[in-house]
Amino acid sequence: MDLRLETHVPLAAMNTFGVAAHAARLVRVHSQREVRQLVDHPELGVLPKLVLGGGSNLLLTRDPQALVVKVEIGGLRVVRDGADATILEAGAGVGWHDLVRWSLEQGFGGLENLALIPGTAGAAPVQNIGAYGLELAERFESLDAVDLTTGRVVTLDAAACRFGYRDSLFKRELAGKSIITQLRLRLPKPWRPVLGYADLERHFGKLGIAAPDAWQIFEAVCMIRRAKLPDPAVLGNAGSFFKNPVVNRTIRNEILQDFPEIVSYPLDDGTYKLAAAWMIDASGWKGKSLGRAAVDARHALVLVNKGGASGEEIHALASAVQQAVAQKFGITLEYEPVLV
């Protein structure tokens, strides 16, 4: 067996909130074979498991009781470079931003709008990450995952993953029941820029660049994200903590009657996405603190650890924000991170 059990492992450096917690037991997996060994292990295989990638979509409010499985599966390769598309494959433990940069270095555009999103490649489909006019689902080809009960390896395409807004099968029916080991992405040819997002339009408009290339979009996204969002290495956070709520036309129009200035976006299915950041700001929480946790002063969707905050403190802040928005707008905001 290649597996090595670690005990009483500090997790502060393994979650981007920087919350102090300890794993009673932790195993690192570096290949699909090791994941299957873990499932087959007579003692470890039967334990409940907490799968940990980059820790960027996680809030630990206590020491996890489950066996923590740290996914460190590496590897990047071009599976196929055809006339219609390029298929890339990444190990689940590869840093997402490293994957985006590597794809551009190989000459393949298509992921640049998703630059600088924290976390690992294996976590990207769980959340169906998205930013600046693009979602992972639009570049997804397939993934491999190991069933944590049977050890069976399955390959799932986009339809099987049932992607939604910051959602997938892995956040619902398969939550905690499988480990993603490889991810494959389809980058269409010819490459076409995705420029519909307002921040990008303003950026390139100021520069007078009508047709930016993939590298220019990558650099612009990195610059905009750094200006708007706190660096987790400096100020602990998990990116956007709340989802933008999606409502039907009737609810949106009712809210507009009382709050005509609310920011909303029409979706293709006739529903509307409301800007949660605007609602949090309008509820008086932007830049406000509760103990050692705070709502970021630049971006109201981001909760930050000002230093030494516990998971319970951050959760208390999230609950207070949630209650304030519900009281003012009648909308209950959903958390993006997984709460332990």
What one-letter code names the amino acid at 72? E
The residues that bridge with 130 in the sheet, in sequence order, are 135
Distance CA 42, CA 52 (A): 22
Mean pLDDT, to the nearest integer, of 221-241?
93
Question: Are 118 and 132 within 8 A, CB to CB?
Answer: no
With a cut of 70, say whether residue 132 has pLDDT above it.
yes
Q: Is the pLDDT of residue 110 over 90?
A: yes
The structure tokens listed for 96 are 């997402």
- For the chain, the C-alpha Rg in angstroms (whole number) is 20
Q: Give the residue numbers marked as catalytic.
A: 166, 240, 336
- Residue 147 backbone dihedrals phi, psi, to 5 degrees: -70, 125
Query: Looking at the DSSP assignment, which residues form a beta bridge with residue 273?
Result: 246, 265
User: Lowest mean pLDDT: which of 25-29, 52-56, 185-189?
Assistant: 52-56
* pLDDT score of 1 more than 60: no
* Among 283, 242, 241, 243, CA closest to 262: 283
Close Cβ partners of 132 (under 8 Å, ≥ 6 residues apart): 113, 114, 194, 197, 199, 200, 221, 224
108 to each of 24, 40, 93, 252, how far by Cα in Å? 42, 39, 21, 40
Helix (H) or strand (E) holding 155: strand 153-157
**Three-class SS state of 331:** coil
- Residues 165, 246 contacting (CB under 8 angstroms): yes
CA 295/CA 315 separation, integer angstroms: 12
Query: What pLDDT, in 10s, does the model give residues 250-302?
Result: 999 999 999 999 999 898 889 999 999 999 999 999 999 999 999 999 999 99
Q: List the beta bridge partners of residue 236.
A: 305
Helix 198-207, helix 214-228: angle, nearest 10: 110
**Dihedral angle sign, alpha carbons of residues 146, 97, 6, 173:** negative
- Which helix (H) or strand (E) is 9 found in, with range? strand 5-10
> DSSP for 215-279?
HHHHHHHHHHHHHHS--TTTSEEEEE-BPPPEE-HHHHHHHHHH-TT--EEE-TTS-EEE-HHHH
Q: Is 316 exposed, middle or buried (0-12, 13-18, 19+ CB in 10 A)?
A: middle
Look over the chain and give the mean of its residue pLDDT values, rounded to a whole number. 95
User: For 2-16, what is each residue's pLDDT tens digit?
Assistant: 789 999 999 999 999
Task: Say if residue 30's pLDDT is above 60.
Answer: yes
Q: Is the pLDDT of residue 204 over 80?
A: yes
pLDDT of 121 higher than 70? yes
Helices marked H in the chain: 32-40, 96-105, 124-127, 158-161, 198-207, 214-228, 249-258, 276-282, 311-329
In the block, which residue shows the tokens 């959340």? Answer: 127
- Residue 300 · residue 285 · CB < 8 Å: yes
Residue with token string 């507009």: 256
| pLDDT score of 196 more than 90 | no
pLDDT score at 253: 93
Q: Identify the residue whose tokens are 């987790």.
A: 232
Nearest 5°: CA angle at 326, between 322 and 332? 65
